[in-house]
Amino acid sequence: MATILQNILTIIFLVEFFVGNLGNGFIALVNCVDSVKRRKIPSVDQILTALAISRFSLLWVIFLDWLVCINFSPSFMTRNILRITQISWNISNHFSIWLATSLSIFYFLKIAPFSDSLFLYLKWKIKRVILIALLLSLVLLFLNIFLVIKHIDAWIDGYKRNLSNSLSSSFVEYPRLILLPSLMFTLIPFGVSLTVFLLLIISLWKHIKKMQHQTKGCRDGRTLAHLTVLQNLVVFLLFYITFFLSLVVELWTFDIEKELTLLFVRVAITIFPSIHPYVFILGQSKLRQDLFSVLQWLKYWCKHV
């Protein structure tokens, strides 16, 4: 039974990997082609392209980490291999999360009708705000990598000291210490995205209240823009929560060394970078039309083949 379940999870993981590469690759390719044609790419498309590339990289990091885990025992994990895998994971995961968070900030500043002077200044300098947010996030990334390398060194040293003895409780804690910084730093962009979500709700409430005094009603363009962004943010936060809980499960099951449990965690983690791109594809008219054109071309090509 365990073998059958493991095979099913493996198939699901590989399907997620394939689907995620298609979705992220499609977004990146379409936006790059449009930028070459127009010789200019809008800010939102720049963020989306960078986000797609980061998630494409993240999927490959997860996939290669899975290959290493199924082909090599923990005793073959050298200091350099652990550093490379963990640093690659942290870099790709960092940009995947922070670029998605920056996209939510961008939409918030674009559509919210607040008249506060600070908000209007941020709205006017929206590109600079996004750039500063990403640059500040790099400080967190470097701190995260520093802590991860420090704990990896402690883990390796502890492993060498305990080679001839059974694993002590302190040594078992080292894998958790490696994963803990990533888990904690993941909460920061989640808090930012949640704050943006709440501010958008307040913005929508104020706008609807204002529009109720007019003859147009509340179903104007700005209201629809609010609802569209809020729907996307709800999906984003749900995927985010799933991703975070998967990291928590991995944190507390790292020392169990059960392949089935770790494979389930990888399947849950991969949902976020593989399925979320299709929310953007279906939610944006340009990407949706490009996808329809590609499907029409494939249908035409298959008929002739």
CATH number attached to the domain at 2-287: 1.20.1070.10
| Distance from C-alpha of 17 to C-alpha of 63, rounded to nearest angstrom | 7
- pLDDT at residue 171 in the model: 41
| Distance from C-alpha of 23 to C-alpha of 221, rounded to nearest angstrom | 29
Alpha-carbon dihedral of residues 283, 284, 287, 290, nearest 10 degrees? 90
Alpha-carbon dihedral of residues 115, 119, 125, 130, nearest 10 degrees? -140
pLDDT in tens, 37-61: 777 778 888 899 999 999 999 999 9
| Distance from C-alpha of 301 to C-alpha of 162, rounded to nearest angstrom | 61
Instruction: Please report, rounded to a whole number, the percentage of residues in the chain having pLDDT higher than 90.
Output: 20
pLDDT at 299 over 80: no
| Distance from C-alpha of 278 to C-alpha of 236, rounded to nearest angstrom | 11
Report H helices in the chain.
2-38, 43-71, 79-111, 117-124, 126-161, 169-211, 221-253, 259-283, 285-304
Q: Is 219 helix (H, G, I), strand (E, B) or coil?
A: coil
In order, the DSSP letters of 55-93 are: HHHHHHHHHHHHHHHHHS-GGG--HHHHHHHHHHHHHHH
Contacts of 282 (CB under 8 A, 6+ apart): 288
pTM: 0.85
Q: Is there a contact between 111 and 220 (Cβ–Cβ < 8 Å)? A: no
Q: Which of 156-165, 207-216, 249-258, 289-298 has the highest mean pLDDT?
A: 289-298
| Distance from C-alpha of 242 to C-alpha of 229, rounded to nearest angstrom | 20
pLDDT in tens, 131-190: 999 999 999 999 988 888 887 877 777 666 665 444 444 444 445 666 777 788 888 898
Nearest in space to 116 (alpha carbons), one of 191, 202, 41, 174: 202
pLDDT in tens, 112-126: 877 778 888 888 888
Alpha carbon distances (Å) from 251 to 48, 244, 297: 30, 11, 45
| Mean pLDDT value across residues 242-267 | 73
